[in-house]
Structure 1
Amino acid sequence: MDLFTLHFTKNEPLYQQLYHYIKINIEDGTLKPHEKLPSKRKLSDYLNLSQNTIQSAYNQLLDEGYLYSKERSGYYVEKIDWFMTPIEKKDISIETKKTKNYSYDFDFNSIDTSEFPKKEFAKAYKDAIEEVSLFETTGSPQGLYSLRESISRYLLSSRGVDTSPENIVISSGAEYLYDLLIRLLPKKTVYGIENPGYAKIGLLFRENKLSHVPVPIQDNGIEIEDLNENEIDCISISPSHQFPTGILYPISKRYELLKWATQENSWIIEDDYDSEFRYSGKPIPALKGLDKSDRVIYLGSFSKSFSPALRISYLVLPDSLMLRYLDLAHFFVCPVPSLTQRVFQQFMDNGNFTKHLNKMRSLYGRKREHLISELLKTKFPLSFLGTEAGLHLHIRLHTQIKERILVEKALNHDCKVYGITDYYYNNMNPHKTAELLLGYGNLSEVQITEGVQKLKEAWKDCF
Structure 2
Amino acid sequence: MTARTSALAIEIDRQDHSPIYLQICERFRTAIAAGHLRPGDRVPALRGLALQLNTARGTVEMAYTILVDEGYLQMRGAAGTFVSASLPSSVTRPARGGDRQEPPAREQGATKSSHALRGRQPATRQLAIAVAMSGEPKLLQPGLPALDAFPRKLWNRLVSRCARSGERAMLAYPDPVGYRALREHIATYLGLSRGVACVPEQVFITAGYRATLELVLRSLASPNDRMWFEDPGYLLARGFLAEVGVNLVPVPIDSEGIDVDRGIALDPLARFALVTPSHQAPLGYTLSLARRMALLDWAAKGSSWIIEDDYDSEFRYVGRPLPALKSLDKDDRVIYCGTFSKVMFPGLRLAYAVVPERAVERVERVACSMNAGSPMLLQAAVADFIEQGHFARHVKRMRALYGQRRTLIAHALEQAFGERMLVELPHGGIQFAVQFAEGPDGPVDDVAVAARARNAGLAVVPLSIWYANGRTRRTPRGLVMGFANVTDAKEALRLARTLYGCLTG
Q: Tell me the TM-score normalized by structure 1.
A: 0.73
1:108 lines up with 2:142 in the alignment: yes
Change over 3 Å in CA distance of 1:186–1:450 after alignment to 2: closer
Q: CA deviation at 1:103?
A: 11
1:122 lines up with 2:156 in the alignment: yes
Cα RMSD (Å): 2.7
1:384-463 aligned within 5 A = 384-385=423-424, 387-400=426-439, 401-408=444-451, 410=453, 415-425=458-468, 427-428=470-471, 431-445=474-488, 446-459=490-503
1:243 lines up with 2:281 in the alignment: yes
Q: CA deviation at 1:174?
A: 1.0
- Separation in 1, partners of 2:503, 2:141: 19
Deviates more, 1:343-352 or 1:408-417: 408-417
Report the 3-state secondary structure (helix = DSSP H, G, I; strand = E; otherwise coil) of the residue aligned with 1:374.
helix
Report the 3-state secondary structure (helix = DSSP H, G, I; strand = E; otherwise coil) of the residue aligned with 2:307.
strand
User: Which residue of structure 2 aligns with residue 6 of structure 1?
Assistant: none
Cα deviation, 1:26-53, whole Å, max 9, x if unaligned, reads: xxxxxxxxxxxxxxxxxxxxxxxxxxxx
Q: Over alpha carbons, which structure has the higher Rg?
A: 1
User: Aligned letter for 1:121?
Assistant: W
Deviates more, 1:402-411 or 1:225-234: 402-411
| 1:244–1:437 Cα contact (<8 Å) kept | yes
| 1:407–1:418 Cα contact (<8 Å) kept | yes
Alignment gaps of 5+ in structure 1: 1-95
- Separation in 1, partners of 2:207, 2:475: 38
Alignment coverage as a number of residue pairs: 365
- Separation in 2, partners of 1:412, 1:204: 26
Cα deviation, 1:3-61, whole Å, max 9, x if unaligned, reads: xxxxxxxxxxxxxxxxxxxxxxxxxxxxxxxxxxxxxxxxxxxxxxxxxxxxxxxxxxx
User: Which residue of structure 1 aligns with residue 301 of structure 2?
Assistant: 263
User: Which residue of structure 1 aligns with residue 190 of structure 2?
Assistant: 155
- Separation in 2, partners of 1:416, 1:180: 30
Change over 3 Å in CA distance of 1:149–1:219 after alignment to 2: same
Cα deviation, 1:60-103, whole Å, max 9, x if unaligned, reads: xxxxxxxxxxxxxxxxxxxxxxxxxxxxxxxxxxxx99x89999
1:264-413 aligned within 5 A = 264-378=302-416, 380-381=418-419, 382-385=421-424, 387-400=426-439, 401-408=444-451, 410=453
1:133-282 aligned within 5 A = 133=168, 136-138=171-173, 140-188=175-223, 189-228=225-264, 229-230=266-267, 231-282=269-320
Report the 3-state secondary structure (helix = DSSP H, G, I; strand = E; otherwise coil) of the residue aligned with 1:324.
helix
User: Which residue of structure 2 aligns with residue 61 of structure 1?
Assistant: none
Cα deviation, 1:342-393, whole Å, max 9, x if unaligned, reads: 1110111001111111111111111001111212223611333462211112
Change over 3 Å in CA distance of 1:139–1:407 after alignment to 2: closer
Deviates more, 1:165-174 or 1:258-267: 258-267
Change over 3 Å in CA distance of 1:212–1:260 after alignment to 2: same
- Separation in 2, partners of 1:333, 1:251: 39
Alignment gaps of 5+ in structure 2: 1-126
User: Aligned letter for 2:228?
Assistant: G
Change over 3 Å in CA distance of 1:135–1:307 after alignment to 2: closer
User: Aligned letter for 1:174?
Assistant: Y
- Separation in 1, partners of 2:348, 2:253: 31
Deviates more, 1:217-226 or 1:156-165: 217-226
Change over 3 Å in CA distance of 1:309–1:459 after alignment to 2: closer
Change over 3 Å in CA distance of 1:146–1:416 after alignment to 2: closer
Q: CA deviation at 1:428?
A: 4.2
| 2:205–2:353 Cα contact (<8 Å) kept | yes
- Separation in 1, partners of 2:436, 2:218: 43
| 1:221–1:248 Cα contact (<8 Å) kept | yes
Report the 3-state secondary structure (helix = DSSP H, G, I; strand = E; otherwise coil) of the residue aligned with 1:226.
helix
Change over 3 Å in CA distance of 1:250–1:241 after alignment to 2: same
| 2:412–2:496 Cα contact (<8 Å) kept | yes
Q: Percent identity?
A: 30
User: Which residue of structure 2 aligns with residue 30 of structure 1?
Assistant: none
Q: CA deviation at 1:186?
A: 3.5
Report the 3-state secondary structure (helix = DSSP H, G, I; strand = E; otherwise coil) of the residue aligned with 1:247.
coil
Deviates more, 1:393-402 or 1:166-175: 393-402
| 1:104–1:414 Cα contact (<8 Å) kept | yes
| 1:132–1:338 Cα contact (<8 Å) kept | no
Q: CA deviation at 1:171?
A: 0.7
| 2:142–2:459 Cα contact (<8 Å) kept | no
- Separation in 1, partners of 2:302, 2:463: 32
User: Aligned letter for 1:355?
Assistant: R
Cα deviation, 1:391-420, whole Å, max 9, x if unaligned, reads: 112212223233335435645766553211
Report the 3-state secondary structure (helix = DSSP H, G, I; strand = E; otherwise coil) of the residue aligned with 1:396.
strand
